[in-house]
């Protein structure tokens, strides 16, 4: 039996603008995890994948081409030069909340790739894991930037530019983030598609917003490397305002962002696709419990504290 895990993630800066070529920064969140277990099965069974949380049992040889879970199994077996339908049962569980901008799809796919590689004693570099997972992200999200699979496969903070490249970078001083869930499910594919349509109708309105986000992300990277938490907080606030102007925030997100600031967070913003999902707040050890309380009072359904280092 071979088991592997993968963390969730949050986007710290630059979501949406990243789809249009601007940089973005994402960090792994190890407090939530996807886990995959691969076990040999009876002869003739083929690959069966059990996604307990989704109440799904997938017979891979019968699954349609666009089923992301079956797809990642097929791609990984092909990459390792293995027969397409070995007798294996793959069980997947995950504590990464689904459709909340925490990369649940990429985390589950990454855990599956890693568990299969472990089972066959095949070594896949993090870069290869990321590339395989990207191909299933396309099925989930349409036109993903690739940031989720990168940060989850490398499990390090990444500075990312779509189709240009990415870098893992140093965090000057570890910092605490609170990730708070609005409880509202959001579809990345829909929000990205909606913004795309609005951008195509009014490029002159949206291009400057994306460019402004790009400048801010560059400054944020410097602030993170220097351990300058007050500047980071300020940049998070500015990034949230720009996301509001893009029309991807929501009343629930704005309420939580306001509550975090009232509680004494250094900065706060929505994270990920928006219109629901999670927001993040930068806190210190002193402000953490007060911000947490304010977020719960403002309706957060789940609050995770994670240290980024």
Catalytic choice (42, 65, 148, 181) = 148
101 is a contact residue toward ligand PMV (CB under 6 A): yes
Query: C-alpha dihedral over 153, 154, 158, 161, to 10 degrees?
Result: -50
Region of 15-23, 27-35, 42-50, 61-69 interacting with ligand PMV (CB under 6 A): 15-23
* 11/304 with CB nearer ligand PMV: 11
CA nearest 272: which of 30, 19, 95, 7?
19
Query: What's the CA gap between 299 and 255, in Å, rounded?
Result: 9
Distance in Å, CB of 141 to ligand PMV, minimum: 6
- Start-end of H helices in 45-125: 68-79, 104-119
Which of residues 4, 7, 8, 16 is near ligand PMV by CB under 6 A? 16
Best CA proximity match to 268, nearest among 253, 282, 254: 282
Strand 2-13 relative to strand 88-94: parallel, antiparallel, unpaired?
Answer: unpaired
Nearer to ligand PMV, 77 or 270 (CB): 270
23 binds ligand PMV (CB under 6 A): no
Q: Can you tell me which residue has the tokens 């592997």?
A: 4
Judged by CB under 6 A, which stretch of 41-49, 80-88, 125-133, 141-149 contacts ligand PMV? Answer: 141-149
Q: Is 8 in the site for ligand PMV (CB under 6 A)?
A: no
Ranked by CB distance to ligand PMV, the top (closest) residue is: 272
148 is catalytic: yes
- What does each C-alpha distance from 217 to 14, 160, 277, 286 come to in angstroms? 6, 10, 21, 26
Map residue 191 onto helix, strand or coil: helix
Mask for 225-264, x = binds ligand PMV (CB under 6 A): ----------------------------------------
Among 18, 60, 124, 268, interactor with ligand PMV by CB under 6 A: 18
Measured CA angle at 211 (ends 210, 217), to 5 deg: 90
List residues near ligand PMV by CB under 6 A.
Answer: 11, 15-16, 18-19, 101, 103, 141, 144-145, 147-148, 188, 192, 272-273, 277
Active site residues: 148
């Amino acid at each position: 039996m071979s088991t592997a895990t993968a963390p969730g993630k949050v986007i710290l800066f630059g979501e949406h603008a990243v789809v249009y070529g601007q940089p973005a920064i994402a960090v792994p969140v190890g407090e939530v995890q996807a886990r995959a277990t691969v076990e040999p099965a009876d002869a003739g069974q083929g690959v069966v994948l059990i996604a307990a949380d989704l109440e799904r049992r997938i017979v891979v040889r019968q699954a349609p081409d666009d089923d992301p879970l079956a797809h990642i199994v097929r791609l990984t077996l092909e990459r390792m030069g293995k027969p397409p339908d070995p007798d294996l049962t793959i069980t997947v569980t995950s504590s990464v909340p689904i459709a909340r901008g925490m990369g649940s799809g990429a985390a589950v796919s990454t855990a599956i790739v890693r568990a299969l590689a472990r089972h066959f004693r095949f070594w896949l570099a993090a870069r290869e894991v990321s590339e395989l997972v990207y191909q299933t992200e396309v099925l989930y999200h349409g036109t993903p930037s690739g940031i989720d699979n990168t940060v989850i496969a490398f499990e390090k903070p990444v500075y990312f530019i779509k189709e240009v490249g990415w870098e893992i970078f140093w965090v000057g001083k570890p910092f605490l983030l609170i990730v708070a869930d609005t409880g509202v499910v959001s579809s990345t594919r829909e929000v990205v598609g909606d913004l795309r349509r609005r951008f195509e109708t009014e490029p002159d309105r949206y291009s400057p917003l994306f460019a402004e986000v790009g400048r801010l992300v560059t400054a944020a990277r410097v602030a993170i490397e220097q351990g300058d938490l007050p500047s980071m907080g300020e940049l998070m606030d500015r990034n949230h305002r720009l996301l509001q102007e893009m029309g991807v925030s929501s009343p629930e997100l704005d309420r939580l962002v306001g509550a975090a600031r009232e509680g004494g967070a250094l900065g706060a913003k929505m994270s990920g696709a928006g219109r629901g999902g999670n927001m993040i707040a930068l806190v210190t050890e002193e402000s953490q419990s007060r911000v947490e309380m304010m977020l719960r009072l403002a309706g957060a359904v789940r609050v995770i504290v994670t240290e980024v280092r």
